[in-house]
Every structure is written in C-alpha cells, then in structure tokens.
Amino acid sequence: MTSRLLPHAVLGLAVLIFAFPIWIAVAGSTQDAAAIARGDLSLVPRLSGFAVYRDVLLNSSAGAGPVWRELLVSFGMALAIALGKIALSIPSAYAVAFFRFPLRMAAFWVIFMTLMLPVEVRLVPTFQVMSTLGMVNTFSGLTVPLIASATATLLFRQTFTAIPDELVEAARIDGAGPLRFLFDVVIPVSGANIAALFVILFVYGWNQYLWPLLVVTDPHLDTVVIGIVKMIGIDTETAWNKVMATAVLALLPPVVVVVAMQRWFVKGLTEGDK
C-alpha cells in the first residue's frame, strides 16, 4: 500500500512547492495593501478585491507605468524575438545543410560562436555598440541583438540534415529549385519543430531582464518584468496587492503558451537539446 501512496505524496509535495507561491500571489492581490504590509496575509482571496486588476492594468502606480502598456511591450518583444529568430535561422540553416559553398564551415562556426558569448559576459561593450548605432531606448534596440543567436540555427540544421536525400532527389527530378524545395517541402515537414521553437523563444523573449534593463531607460519601453522589479524596489511604500496582481498578469501569458503547447514544447526541448 505504501508503494502506491509514496508517488502521490512526493508529487503532491512537488505541486505544492510550485503552486503555492502563485496561490499566495492570487490571494494576496485581492487584499488590503496595509494589511499585507503588517504581515496579515490571508490565504483566502477576498472576492471584492479583484478590482485591483482593473486598477493596475489601466493606471500608473508608483515607479511603474500602467500594466497594459508593459504587457504590450513584453508581448511585442517576445513575438519579435521569436518570429525574428525563426525567420533569420531557417534560411541560414538551410544554406548550411543543402549547399556546398566556399567558407560554408567558416560561416557556420562564426554563427556557432555566438553561443559562447551570452550578453551577460559582454555587457559593457555591447551597450557601447548600441549607443554608437543610436539604438539605445528603441524597440529595435530591445529586440534585434537578442534575435542574432545560434540556438535556433543549430536546431534547424539538425532537423534539415535529417531530411532524407531521396526527398531532395525526387524534388530535383520534378524540377523544383532550391527555394521551391524550401517552401514546399522543408518548412512544412519542420512544422512541429518550428512550433516548439516558437514556444521556447517566446518564453525566452518574455523573460528577458538584464538586456532591457541596460538598453532602455524610457519608461514607455518598460517590459512587465522590468516594471514589477521596479515596483518591489521601493520597499517602504510598496503597494503589495498591486505587486501581486501585476505578478499574476505577468506570469499568465508565457505560462498559458507553455501549457497550451506542452506536447510540442517538451518534444522540442528534449529532441533539440536546448
């Protein structure tokens, strides 16, 4: 009997560890800010308190703009990064996988090297480059440097090299050129990989913190992740119910994307190795 109960006990505990903070955030968001500040956080949500969501969405609060605008910036950024990376890496992976051109391996290694240079380790010089290019405080400054990394290219190259030679041969006999083959065969058969990668990249873009912190000082371009850290920064006068409501709103979009596309996403992670 114990062997039947043990898995449920362990997994139940695990669910509790992960779900409990979210429950606190949801319950806390509906309560009186002064009561929370005193340490009287109730685990029972107050039904009349849900108006706080309308409030944080529409109105600016101390240190941060209205959350609807932050969510819009986050959404735009996540979408631009996901689509931009996919649009950039499909052609380059295709070129490396299906052509033999001079400096092919050199090009591949230059792209591959970016994996070893995360923005965290080249912080100051990257910022200097951005200001030279006049991209500080712009939406493109927020997104373009994050689009140019190799993970997606590697993944697609792996997928493309798995396409059987016979398929290429057949397409060529049918008179299909390389671009036609790309659009009619390669992209359709890679649909599941593209979907999985979209989830991973959307979450990656949504979750950025250090880069937006560095390259944007204009509050109009604050993402929701930046906004919420600003809110908890000013400790003494923090309106905790608003912080918790914003946290719930900031968590929802990426979590919904991951849970809704769970099957593809897990496949993409485990088969693509990153």
Partner 1 sequence: MDRRTIFPGRALPALLVLPQLALTAVFFLWPAGQAIWSSLQREDAFGTSSEFAGLENFASLFADPLYGAAVARTVLFCAAVTALSMGLALLFAVFADAEIRGRAFYRTMLVWPYAVAPAMSAVLWVLMFHPQIGLVGAWLNRIGVPWDYKLNGAEAMALIVGASAWKQVSYNFIFFLAGLQAIPRSVIEAARIDGSRGFYRFRTIVLPLLMPVVFFLLVVDLVYAAFDTFATVYALTQGGPGQSTQTLVLKVYLDGIVNADIGSSSAQSVVLMAGVIVLSALQFRFLGRKAGT
- Name the token pair of 164: 């059987």
Number of chain residues interacting with partner 1 (CB under 8 A): 101
User: Concatenated DSSP letters for 20-65?
Assistant: HHHHHHHHHHTS-HHHHHTT---SSPPGGGGHHHHHHHHS-BTTB-
Rounded to a whole number of angstroms, the minimum distance from the CB of residue 163 to partner 1 is 8
Does 155 engage in binding with partner 1 (CB under 8 A)? no
Restricting to residues 90-109, which ones interact with partner 1 according to CB under 8 A? 91-92, 94-102, 104, 107
Beta bridge partners of 61: 64
Does 72 engage in binding with partner 1 (CB under 8 A)? no
Rounded to a whole number of angstroms, the minimum distance from the CB of residue 33 to partner 1 is 10
Rounded to a whole number of angstroms, the minimum distance from the CB of residue 46 to partner 1 is 16
Q: Nearest-5° angle of CA 45, CA 50, CA 55?
A: 140
Residue 97 and residue 157 in contact, taking contact as beta carbons nearer than 8 Å: yes
Q: List the x/- string, 199-238, binding to partner 1 by CB under 8 A.
A: ----x--xxxxx---x----------x--xx--x------
- Name the token pair of 62: 């101390």
Q: CA 255: distance to chain centroid?
A: 10
Q: Which long-range contacts (CB under 8 A, 24 or more apart) does 253-257 make?
A: 253/71, 253/74, 253/75, 253/78, 253/206, 254/78, 254/202, 254/203, 254/206, 254/207, 257/199, 257/202, 257/203
Restricting to residues 37-56, which ones interact with partner 1 according to CB under 8 A? 37-39, 41, 43
Restricting to residues 184-203, which ones interact with partner 1 according to CB under 8 A? 203
Among 1, 25, 81, 195, binds partner 1 (CB under 8 A): 25
Does 14 engage in binding with partner 1 (CB under 8 A)? yes
Does 178 engage in binding with partner 1 (CB under 8 A)? yes
**CB-nearer residue toward partner 1: 69 or 254:** 254
Q: What is the CA radius of gyration of the chain?
A: 23
Restricting to residues 246-265, which ones interact with partner 1 according to CB under 8 A? 247, 250-251, 254-255, 257-259, 262
* CA proximity to 98, closest of 29, 26, 190, 6: 190
Does 269 engage in binding with partner 1 (CB under 8 A)? yes
Does 273 engage in binding with partner 1 (CB under 8 A)? yes
For residues 60 and 32, what is the distance between their CA atoms, to the nearest angstrom? 18
Does 243 engage in binding with partner 1 (CB under 8 A)? yes
Does 79 engage in binding with partner 1 (CB under 8 A)? no
Does 10 engage in binding with partner 1 (CB under 8 A)? yes
Among 58, 68, 122, 187, binds partner 1 (CB under 8 A): 122
Among 72, 133, 187, 234, binds partner 1 (CB under 8 A): 133
**CB-nearer residue toward partner 1: 69 or 240:** 240
How many other β-carbons are positioned within 10 Å of the β-carbon of residue 37?
15
